[in-house]
Chains A and B, each alone.
Chain A
């Protein structure tokens, strides 16, 4: 079941030969090569990362200096009010910050950018199983970008019902300023992202299952691939529910159905015509997807972190099979815990008990993974290069994020901390301090493979240091705010007696947030500068074991210039069988001994 290696079967037939615009478009724009598609995803998502970060700065500004002149935005949009933003603008800020970060940054960068780039390379295939579908999965993001981009220009500058889009607020047109056409555009945009993700997950599942090189058994796959594989299963099973729910909300808004709208609503002085629905139904359907979604947003990152830590500890991963089972356990349990977002929602309290128990259990595989990472570092030879720094910080920060989850898993404490900044702290720790840091590390790590050059190491360390400090300064105090009961999504929390004293802490956090966003400038410059001026590298600058490091940097079309054959697992660092401290998967065993497949 081998695919050809060096042939350019895919796009020679369709790419016009010779130079010119047609050639450029065929090779770089509408490419079906998984590496190009991966890089397209990478740059698109990094651009949206910037936008999402700026939206976050808007939130932080309002929380630090409420109703003051907001830089740039105040002058541009609210000059009549002295630069003071309106309350509905604030609802747009937090809605779009979350929407952009979740649907346009984290999910596509993990699966679309890294999944696309790495999967065929790491399993020894020459491309994905369905290259055209792969290309479509990228281009389906563009309608989403355009639709959501358009929503920024409809009143009041975007959707304002939260990224969770709970009805009736989101489903009734008059319920909120951001619930009119902006909300429709939002729903359509998110649907397009869903379609793109579904296409991707079909591709990844088929490729990983069917196109592995000879000798690459499932338990010799690098943990990155395991992460991508399990994530693809999560996407495939959970997304249809969100898409269906999104359609139901669209029809509630536009066709007068009443899936989520009960009778007798009087919203903004208009009595609603449709009825007979239940707002909680949306919450169930939405969280049935969105809870697995949060695991979609971390499992690939965990996989990549495992690979980076093993490489730079020069030691095998501690407990490879438990790591695989933990990934599967997190994913499996992830399907039965969605109700923990709804403990105080009005859902039957008995369900609170069942969901709580299941949620508590997810901490177990997560803990196992953390211990195994610690075990990997123990006894190794740690190289403190930039990708490793980010990977270590993932472990350190994930401990914070994971432990904070236990507080909200316990239903009585959740009564108090639900919809407070304790929740915000938790998910920012796992999503930014966790996944985003892992993504940064992955960019530094696989950049030489993508572009054939190394990123600047000093700039990388500086970027890491500043981001680490400012990130913790921004998000750690949120735990304390949450203990006070500081609510989410309030444009002006300080007119409550209970929260009036929290403004200085918020100002500190906002200053750190500005520093954090500013620090990314170093990263951006590094990426672009190194692409043209970085030192060129060979195939394996990090001396890593996995298959992608045996291909040229960057790999040509078809990836490998030889047929990869796999002899062992991916983490045989420091093996006594060889003199070098690493032992690539494709290196044949020494003739003297019998070539036992490298058991993990």
Chain B
């Protein structure tokens, strides 16, 4: 019976690692599209690479420890093992080795990705580095936001800056749920909340930031490919949390300008005659 159980435990690293391999390989049936969503951002690859690095590392440990567990169970099955028990209380050397090695590895992982975190959350794009010529100082001229997104139950209300480049003035263009942005540009977005916590999640840009009422936050990203993608709410906001689906439309600058102008015109529509039909 012991052999059977040992083999059962051997299935864990085999099937466990196997599932990840099958899911990660492109076009592997039946797990099509069961891996990272398409990355259309400039910096998303950093997150994907870090994930994969940790995956390989933990994968090796997972398979090794899983195999060791199986091997020890197989070899030292009381029903089959006739040798006396090794009466040993531990090994100082081993304890040191397997404390230091993981500690070093973990510290390495920790420090290795601090820069990626800082880039994602702390370094807002600047138009110019200011008088001192150094970015990251207080005299930088920060890039103004393109759009202000207010999360409310259960939609994303958008407000594009008008000609005055300021959000909150009468020439803003209002929208809901469909966010258009130009491709290949640094985009800065303001996030605000009106009622409860939400979270602005763009899976295809590897971007997520909680929306906190009472706090005005900035996020930034750069898209590198055009297309339409999902906006997902990633913080429970009530019964309609699942309904907060938005669409992110990444298009060329000309298309974007044209779209924004069309929205502006529609928003300022001052005439209607019955012969027309709406949208």
Contact = CB atoms under 8 A, between A and B. Distances in A.
A and B touch in the complex (CB under 8 A): yes
Nearest to B30: A504
Residue of A91, A370, A380, A404 most packed against chain B (CB within 10 A): A380
A416 B238 contact: no
Contacts of B207: 415
Interface in B72-95: 72-73, 76-78, 81, 84-91, 94-95
A160 interface: yes
Contact of A395 (B2, B35, B69, B194): B69
A576 interface: yes
Interface stretch (A115-123, A168-176, A510-518, A550-558): A168-176
Interface residues of B, number: 100
A493 interface: yes
A407 B195 contact: no
B200 to A, nearest CB: 10
B226 to A, nearest CB: 16
A268 interface: yes
A371 interface: yes
Interface stretch (A290-298, A434-442, A472-480, A585-593): A472-480
A360 B23 contact: no
A259 B62 CA distance: 44
A393 B95 CA distance: 23
B78 A383 contact: yes
B33 interface: yes
B238 A361 contact: no
Contacts of A375: 90-91, 94
A597 interface: no
Interface stretch (B118-126, B170-178, B249-257): B118-126
Interface string A383-404: 1100001001101110110011
B86 A380 contact: yes
B239 A267 contact: no
**Top 7 closest A-B pairs, CB basis?**
A262-B214, A379-B86, A574-B85, A319-B90, A349-B121, A381-B78, A88-B239
Contact of A379 (B30, B66, B85): B85
Given A87-B242, A318-B90, A487-B201, A364 B122 contact: no
A411 B113 contact: yes
Contacts of A350: 122
Interface of B: 1-2, 5, 8-9, 12, 15-16, 19-20, 23, 30-37, 46-47, 50-51, 54-55, 57-58, 61-62, 65-66, 68-69, 72-73, 76-78, 81, 84-91, 94-95, 98-99, 102-103, 106-107, 109-110, 113-114, 116-118, 120-122, 153, 194-197, 199, 201, 203-204, 206-215, 217, 229-230, 232-243, 245
Contact of B197 (A166, A374, A490, A575): A166
B34 A505 contact: yes
A127 to B, nearest CB: 32
Contacts of A495: 245
Nearest to A171: B196
B215 A346 contact: yes
Between B47, B77, B89, the greatest number of chain A beta carbons within 10 A of the residue's beta carbon is seen for B89
Nearest to B12: A396
Contact of B238 (A175, A352, A581): A175
Contacts of B20: 479-480
